[in-house]
A and B are shown apart, each in its own frame.
Chain A
Amino acid sequence: MSVEGAHSNGSASAEVAARVERRWATIAVIIVVMMALLAAFAGIHRATMPQPRVETTDPSRLHLTGEFVESNLGSMLEANGNVTVRAIGQQYSFTPACIVVPADTPITLRATSADVVHGILIQGTNVNTMLVPGYISEQLMRFTKTGDYLMPCQEFCSFGHEGMWGKVKVIDKTDFANRAKGGGRLSCVGQ
């Protein structure tokens, strides 16, 4: 496939080629810079970003001391009206297995793993975080619709992974407030 003649008029065509290329490279750079700026803007202006801080915890003492002892797991109404949910993942279930939260309320999910790497994903939302043993995951969330959501473990955690499905029950804000009156930590149990 000889392409003789392609060299004739070489320098002029080389200049055209270089100019067209430069233009395209400029467009490409602008696309890349725009993407980074968009991410920075959304991160700063709307405060949408992945978990910012690193917190650690000792998984072998989770059940003995600290915020992840059994009696502290579940949903808690804070004094300011916000809700904090504490949960752990272990092979092959979540505790609580069914999380209950109010709609239209800022919620902080704090969770960790008691053994291997797990993940929490709430279907139909963009709530999605890893649970890495030794570290605490924190996610801010707010549900606008009441109803039941599936919450599978999204990371391979050995042979029972396919059975590790939790649930999130989003209920009306006043219902939740009534249930929270007694204090303690709420879950779907006893509803």
Chain B
Amino acid sequence: MLVNRKLILAHFWLAFAVFGIALTLGAWQMFIRSPIGTWLSNPELYYRSLTAHGTVMGYVFPTLVAMGFGYAISESALEQRLVGVRWAWAGFWLIVVGAIMAMVPIALGRASVLYTFYPPLIGNVFYYLGVVLVVVGSWIWVALMSVNLRVWRKAHPGAPVPLAMFANVAGSYLWAWTAVGAALELLLQIIPVAAGLKATIDAGLARVFFSWTLHAIVYFWLMPTYIAYYTIVPRAIGGRIYSDSMARISFILFLVVAMPIGMHHTFADPQVGAGFKFIHSAFTALVALPTLLTVFTICASVEIAARLRGGRGMFGWIGALPWDNPMMLALAFSFVMLGFGGAGGLINMSYQLDASIHNTQWITGHFHLIFGGAIVIMYFAIAYDLWPHLTGRELIDIRLIRTQLWLWFIGMIVTTFPWHWVGILGMPRRMAYFDFGDPAIAPQALSVTLSAIGGFILLASGIMFIVILARGMRAPQVDAGPYRFALAVHQPTTVPVALNTHALWVALMIALTLTNYGYPILNLALSEGTSVPAVYVGAQ
């Protein structure tokens, strides 16, 4: 029951439009810093582009996808009209206004501080205010998801909350609390300085606040993808969810342990002591747990589909899978990229190994593989799956869809594998150009060139994606029927309260954040003399 299709389509179209812009900037960046480009006479242009790319890809694009998908889940999984549609539109427009407000100073070169802010570098105040508006807009969505679930519970006392909505609301709570770290950094530290009310800032404290957001935001980006793994893929390929309760446990684990681990981003920092670094490292190992459970459950769910299609044998069933189905293809690509990216992530979070790759191109390669690869390819799949239900028109370019997914996969591998490699060689991140004439840097030239070629493959795939969706707006009309989610092999009739509500887990999430962040933050906030003069940036 998708009633507010315009609302959902607006979110998706805005998401994919800004994605297209940021993707183009990204491809240009890969090209211009590679040996096939020529050195920029003004390197500031590179950082301007990088700030726009990161701000859009990190804050605007995934947030809009999660919101649009969340509204679709709320209406179709709960079979209930969205409550608070006007608020939803208000949230959408806040994001539009915020994104424009942030992009204007970036485009003018007044806020080339990168999406990670990095005080004491300080850009134009409207950049930060724009980001705040985007976050506030998304918080309206968080509230609406909670309200809609509450309304449904009243009408269905004691009934199991549909898995998709349970996960969706968990994701929204995760985001609400995740964003608090950066919000504190912006409101208490950066914006007063950017507005000229203060002239000094504690850079170490800012980095700790940001780490609170920076890691868990990744799991917020991941939520729509995992929801698709569990509740769309098995239905789309003709299978069943292997276990409904394991799925719920995975989402709960993300909610609880995604947060108190962010300080693994500060292993190399001087403002955090060894004790908390180790605690966060150990907790980061825990976050592998929901992913390990998910990989198992999804593989088992896919095997069910294969066996129902007549697959036999220990591994013979793999051939019986519907490989021409775009959803199957997207899932397989996503899992391959998740596997490589996850293995790399274990190195990043390692207390010891991190030092060999910290802030090198390995890190950029890592999160492009996980986010741009494993996560975004499922955003594509979600859009393809939902589109006929939103537009009332058929997506006819199935072959083109398959080509698009293949190109994205190949492009992401070609981009990120050499990227990891030059990181191991010690190539630093975020440089507008490299002196490939230096004998010590020359061996990296080939890898950087390969990455740039991968960037163009990704750009081609991204353009195809937008073309397919645009053509889908004008295709012949079709009745796609109600939008359904996958059923479990043993569809639950009752679910324990702990697996049907979020309150306990939200409380645990907040408590763990306080234990793992409370002392370091208070310690830094109360220590004297650590504030340093702000350095204002702006193109001359």
Contact = CB atoms under 8 A, between A and B. Distances in A.
Interface of A: 1, 3, 6-7, 10, 13-14, 17-18, 20-21, 24-25, 28-29, 31-32, 35-36, 39-40, 42-43, 48-56, 58-60, 91, 112, 115-117, 119, 121-138, 148, 150, 152-162
B428 A159 contact: no
Interface residues of B, number: 77
A162 B434 contact: yes
Interface in B479-506: 487, 489-490
A125 B417 CA distance: 21
Main SS at interface, chain B: loop
Nearest to A124: B426
A130 B210 CA distance: 15
Contacts of A60: 532-533
B532 A121 contact: no
A28 B289 contact: yes
Given A35-B350, A159-B43, A161-B430, 20 more contacts: A1-B238, A3-B239, A3-B487, A24-B293, A28-B292, A32-B285, A39-B352, A43-B274, A56-B527, A60-B532, A91-B535, A115-B532, A116-B118, A117-B207, A119-B359, A126-B355, A127-B355, A133-B120, A134-B529, A161-B431
21 contacts: A3-B238, A3-B240, A6-B240, A10-B490, A14-B489, A17-B242, A17-B243, A24-B296, A28-B296, A39-B281, A39-B352, A49-B274, A115-B535, A116-B121, A116-B535, A117-B121, A130-B270, A135-B269, A148-B440, A150-B426, A150-B441
A128 B355 contact: yes
Contacts of A1: 235, 238-239
Contacts of A59: 532-533
Nearest to B249: A25
A66 to B, nearest CB: 12
A36 B458 CA distance: 37
Contacts of B352: 39, 42-43, 48-49
Contacts of B358: 119, 121, 128, 154
Given A35-B346, A39-B282, A156-B47, A132 B296 contact: no
B428 A152 contact: yes
A153 B297 CA distance: 43
Nearest to B540: A159
A56 B530 contact: yes
